Amino acid sequence: THLLTAFPACRWQSWRAASRHQQAAKTTYSYLRMHSFTLRVCSLTRSCVCLQVAVLAGGIEASAGDENAARALFLRAYQLDKADKQIYTVWPRMEASVGNHDRARALFQAGLSMYPNNTKILNLYACFEEDQGNVELARQLHRNALDIDGTSMTAMHNRWV
């Protein structure tokens, strides 16, 4: 009888835990959207002078599905510092996800022209090219990343090369 009486309590506790987790996720999403809106207003009025904030807000807008706001934020970050590595990892992925494959490819290539030994950009570009059906180019990019640093965390999924 102890099992029968304990089971409903366990089920209730797990339901309460799941409910709290859902509520925390909703609160976090609302918090991010609220701050994203603030950052978007800041950026679009060109008063945003922090590169990292612009890139972060662009990533938030991209994950929320607002590609125009994300693109404006990434462009603002690019205007602040064309040589920032983070721009060349986040922006091209957003462009690829909305179907702008030529723009994504150009951004990856621009990033690699500035940072030819960056394994993260190499691997992201390789994954992009693999998704586009350019398997040989993807394999070459993965090999380059492995040659640069075969022990990096970003190179661990390239063992198939």
What pLDDT does residue 122 have? 92
Residue 133's Cβ-count burial label (10 Å; 0-12, 13-18, 19+) is exposed
Let me know: does 131 contact 109? Beta carbons within 8 Å: no
d(CA 40, CA 58): 8
Model pTM?
Answer: 0.67
What pLDDT does residue 56 have? 84
Per-residue pLDDT tens digits for 44-98: 435 556 788 888 888 888 888 889 988 998 998 899 888 889 999 999 999 999 9
DSSP assignment of 98-157, as one string?
TT-HHHHHHHHHHHHHH-TT-HHHHHHHHHHHHHTT-HHHHHHHHHHHHHH-TTSGGGGG
